[in-house]
């Protein structure tokens, strides 16, 4: 899924106050053999992302781990949404101008691809510089393209061999993704954007039932599907790393914190400490975006001071790896 632009386009809710996420629209694929019409090439493709967005964060992690930073360029939208949506600026820390199309707004990029486009303006966006169009704006599909279709361009042989969606684990990965997405990844948004007590109660119950299920899995296994880090872990990580920082307070997911789950807290630190992953995490963007953009939740736009969390302490999950071997 992709991150919505709630301030500009308003959050869609059902008659019962339930948050309804719009589906991604651009769904073409880049393939190594070029059979899709979008062949994988170094320097041809570009990512538009927000460092605050968990969906965009997925793609940045795989781009980093696969050694594709010099292969696929990237621009970062501004931290906070204003009345016109996602914008480009080099005045905020770690944000950029649009270096490919020279646009001031992400909506302008979408309209280069389709002048009649009037749908959601979301990140991430995978852009084809040659055809001047959006290839895909569905994060789960972009993640898989980066995982498998650019192996010829990875920086090292080890990175080329990394596979976060290995064939022998695909059934297991798909199975956990199927319930983690609605219960946890999107569940925090369903809780935070609910406009009725009934909708919130249902959503937040799903979140913590899902987290309890994760805790149980991690009590027996280092990763979600065994002893190997997969896309399922990456997809979950981008929600967990934001949970105690913004979702507990901002989205009212305050029954428990991740630090209150012994296995999940160690697992989160384990993933954070994978070389390269911490480089993709920007807590300033995360906190300022959520608390400064969602004025329907936080009309004063005051950004909270904490919590203080150290993700670099020893995690002890190596012992779990030994049990899985």
Identify the active-site residue in 45, 164, 181, 189: 189
| Burial classification of residue 84, based on how many CB atoms lie within 10 Å of its CB (0-12 exposed, 13-18 middle, 19 or more buried) | middle
Whether 103 is catalytic is no
Residue 106 C-alpha from the chain's centroid:
18
Residue 113, φ and ψ in degrees, nearest 5: -70, -40
Strand ranges inside the chain, DSSP E: 45-49, 73-76, 125-128, 133-136
Tokens representing residue 59 in the block: 């793609």
Using CA atoms, how far apart are residues 272 and 165, in angstroms rounded to an integer? 19
CB 112 within 8 A of CB 132: yes
Residue 244 C-alpha from the chain's centroid:
16
Which residues are within 8 A (CB) of 321 and not within 5 positions of it... i.e. 6 or more apart? 222, 227
The DSSP call for residue 169 is: G
DSSP result, 198-257: HHHHHHHHHHHHHHHHHHHHHTT-SBTTBSS--HHHHHHHHHHHHIIIIIHHHT---S--
Q: In this structure, is the dihedral angle defined by the CA atoms of residues 11, 14, 17 and 20, taken in order, positive or negative?
A: negative
Residue 237 has a CB neighbour count (10 Å cut-off) of 24
Whether 53 is catalytic is yes
CB 286 within 8 A of CB 52: yes
Identify the active-site residue in 45, 53, 95, 261: 53
- Catalytic residue numbers read 53, 189
């Amino acid at each position: 899924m992709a991150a919505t632009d709630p301030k500009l386009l308003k959050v869609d809710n059902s008659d019962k106050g339930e948050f309804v996420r719009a589906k991604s629209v651009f769904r073409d694929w880049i393939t190594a053999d070029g059979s899709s019409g979008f062949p994988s090439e170094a320097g041809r493709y570009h990512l538009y992302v927000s460092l605050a967005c968990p969906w965009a964060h997925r793609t940045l992690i795989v781009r980093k781990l696969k050694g594709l930073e010099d292969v696929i360029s990237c621009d970062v939208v501004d931290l906070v949404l204003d009345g016109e949506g996602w914008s480009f600026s080099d005045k905020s820390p770690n944000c950029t101008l649009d270096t490919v199309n020279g646009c001031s707004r992400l909506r302008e990029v979408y309209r280069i691809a389709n002048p009649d486009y009037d749908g959601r303006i979301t990140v991430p966006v995978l852009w084809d510089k040659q055809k001047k169009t959006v290839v895909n704006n569905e994060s789960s599909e972009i993640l898989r393209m980066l995982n498998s279709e650019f192996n010829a361009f990875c920086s090292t042989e080890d990175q080329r061999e990394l596979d976060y969606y290995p064939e022998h684990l695909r059934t297991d990965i798909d199975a956990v993704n199927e319930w983690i997405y609605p219960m946890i990844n999107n569940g925090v948004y369903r809780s935070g954007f609910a406009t009725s007590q009934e909708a919130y109660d249902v959503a937040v119950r799903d979140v913590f039932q899902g987290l309890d299920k994760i805790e149980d899995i991690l009590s027996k296994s280092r990763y979600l599907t065994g002893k190997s880090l997969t896309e399922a872990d990456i997809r979950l990580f981008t929600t967990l790393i934001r949970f105690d920082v913004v979702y507990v307070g901002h989205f009212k997911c305050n029954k428990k914190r991740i630090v209150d789950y012994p296995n999940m807290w160690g697992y989160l630190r384990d993933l954070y400490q994978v070389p390269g992953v911490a480089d993709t995490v920007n807590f300033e963007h995360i906190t300022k975006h959520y608390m400064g953009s969602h004025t329907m939740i936080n009309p004063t736009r005051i950004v909270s001071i904490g919590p203080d969390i150290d993700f670099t302490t020893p995690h002890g999950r190596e012992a779990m790896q030994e049990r899985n071997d």
